[in-house]
Amino acid sequence: MPELRKDPILGRWVIIAKERAARPTDFRSGTVHPSGGFCPFCAGNEDKTPPEIMAYRKDGSAANGPGWRVRIVPNKFPALRVEGGLDKSGMGMYDTMNGVGAHEVIIECPDHHLSPVALTDENVEEVIWVYRERLTDLKKDSRLAYGLVFKNVGAIAGASLEHTHSQLIATPVVPNLVQREMRGARDYFAFRGRCLFCDMVQQELMTESRITHETEEFLSFCPFAGRFPFETWILPRKHASHFEALSRAQAKDLAVHLKNMLRKLETALEDPPYNFIIHTTPWNEPEIEEYHWHIEIIPRLTKVAGFEWGTGFYINPIPPETAAEFMRQVDS
Amino acid sequence: MPELRKDPILGRWVIIAKERAARPTDFRSGTVHPSGGFCPFCAGNEDKTPPEIMAYRKDGSAANGPGWRVRIVPNKFPALRVEGGLDKSGMGMYDTMNGVGAHEVIIECPDHHLSPVALTDENVEEVIWVYRERLTDLKKDSRLAYGLVFKNVGAIAGASLEHTHSQLIATPVVPNLVQREMRGARDYFAFRGRCLFCDMVQQELMTESRITHETEEFLSFCPFAGRFPFETWILPRKHASHFEALSRAQAKDLAVHLKNMLRKLETALEDPPYNFIIHTTPWNEPEIEEYHWHIEIIPRLTKVAGFEWGTGFYINPIPPETAAEFMRQVDS
């Protein structure tokens, strides 16, 4: 069972995932992530993953065989495990608990495509819809507090397999960063009486120079204080605190929007490594006015070095206005 | 002039360093950090850096020529600049100010060594002493709030030159992360009436299993909730809030301690990329009981991916106790 440990200074949680690496020497430089030719995510290799949690599949096709369009399986090397209780305890001055949670992999398509850009609009729509289904289901487990959907593309961004896939990790505590975002958004709401993110949508529409893409339901822009070159956020135009309240019509619009936005990034930066993260409201909160779910896409082109680790400051060598102008000029 | 922009959600500052990259296309994959054979930090090439701020040099040797042992120069591509006022202003709903600050490079030795481990004890002692001198000097500038000393080793950890060097960045605001550390340490002090870090020293000495190295004045250990495999912290045994209050005797002890600790890391992990960061109290604070300066060394062996960026959680596949045991067994 993985162990959760809390840093006593910042309240930051760390997962000590003992089962992931066998020996300290596995971390000697150059020995991580060997690549092979075989793909366990391709149709026909269903027995090479743990049994599926669910799938969208052709009527009549059997679980754990071909015939699926989108398939969800438990992560083979999970950071957190679904079994057992939290068993919070102290170790001297430190706090610890069991690594209870969920760690699922969303295999986005049966063929060996490397990017959602290569998929049909309908396929991407089903991927987005399955995020919603899994979050809605996991939310019912009272031991869990937050669900994070994310995607790592490229080895530098932390991907170990290239077949396009996303991940969902549900945690037993509201993560530190999410708590800080909630606090910041609530402070703004207390001061202005308006949602910070709704104000950002208005501000970006008025300023125009940071906008990268627009559809009926969503707005993409390079955020004013973006940490990374070409960092891009996608916000629903209408206020909504929880991603899982998404309507099917919004999922359809988001599929097209996301594909276009990723195509622009891939074209402009020639297939960059990137992370894609859905930020949403914790599960113990009802629909609220203060927080607004959104997607953050961070291309991983610059290195995070000592200055960033020591301060939480970031150095972005491309003004967001310049990055946005560049992306607007790319065909999507 | 670089521009500082504040993220309205987290209060996180970003430096938009327009002068660092010329065109968006510079960030296309694979075009960053070309390496060359020439080293501007080696003795004899003093005219290839900006003029020196100070140096420890042979009596009678002229500035910006050979004869130095440790040499401090302004960064050629500074993240922040010393000239001008802050000029805080609003841009719609967002906050911005001028990128005023200092960005200095500490060239640790005249010969082309790649690591402090290769230097004499006296050389490393002078490097530590010059950190103290530069921090003490910059602290007098009332526009500046915090000074960070750090070191990036290896391309993955953000280094662009291999000749062993450290950097000092002084910022006009207390960085977000430092504010959060101060808050956490103050909360602990309010609750317990003792310094959190002094308690950690006691706890680690009692537990023993996470200790990696001990000298008269300093203790090294793998922190209980370490984020990265083989993460190591060095704490002064006696309480001290500000690094720049270091005595010469402590600098001497730290030089030997640090060299031994880095040698253990280099041997155990075969020259890993790493960052080394001095955490200290902001300049507007007097000597205080609540915060305790220390060094954090983070080997960069794992990738920071979507989960970490979305939660602030970290996944560490090596228990700190296992890493510490491994390092204790390495000769230093």
Domain ranges of chain B: 3-20+38-176, 193-329
Coil/strand/helix, residue A131? helix
- Output the CA torsion sign for B244, B246, B252, B254: negative
Domain B193-329 classified CATH 2.30.40.10? no
Please give the Cα distance from B290 to B189 (Å, whole number).
6
- Per-residue pLDDT at B32 exceeds 80: no
Rounded average pLDDT over B7-12: 93
Please give the Cα distance from A28 to A24 (Å, whole number).
8
- Per-residue pLDDT at B39 exceeds 50: yes
pLDDT single digits (tens) B121-172: 999 999 999 999 999 999 999 999 999 999 999 999 999 899 999 999 999 9
B84 touches chain A (CB under 8 A): no
Q: Would you say how long chain A is, in residues?
A: 332
C-beta atoms of A312 and B276 within 8 A:
no
ipTM over 0.85: yes
Please give the Cα distance from B296 to B135 (Å, whole number).
18
pLDDT at B207: 97
C-beta atoms of A306 and B277 within 8 A:
yes
The domain defined by A3-23+38-176 folds into HIT family, subunit A (3.30.428)
DSSP B253: H
The domain defined by B3-20+38-176 folds into HIT family, subunit A (3.30.428)
- Per-residue pLDDT at B297 exceeds 70: yes
Please give the Cα distance from B108 to B121 (Å, whole number).
12
Q: How many CB atoms lie within 10 A of CB A34?
A: 7
- Per-residue pLDDT at B120 exceeds 80: yes
- Output the CA torsion sign for A67, A72, A78, A79: positive
- Per-residue pLDDT at B193 exceeds 90: yes
The yes-or-no answer to whether A3-23+38-176 and A177-329 have a common fold is yes
Residues of chain A with pLDDT under 70: 19-36, 332
Residues in chain B closer than 8 A to A17 (CB atoms): 315-317
The domain defined by A177-329 folds into HIT family, subunit A (3.30.428)
B22 touches chain A (CB under 8 A): no
Q: What's CA A208's distance to the chain center, in Å?
A: 26
pTM: 0.94
Smallest Cα distance from B270 to chain A, Å: 6
Confidence of residue B37 (pLDDT cuts 50, 70, 90): confident
B134, B72 contact by CB (below 8 A): yes
pLDDT at B60: 92
Please provide residue B221's backbone torsions phi and psi, each rounded to the nearest 5 degrees: -155, 165
Residue type, B149: V
- Per-residue pLDDT at B35 exceeds 70: no
For chain B, give me the number of helices (H) and strands (E)? 6, 15
Residues in chain A closer than 8 A to B24 (CB atoms): 229-230, 268, 318, 322-323, 326
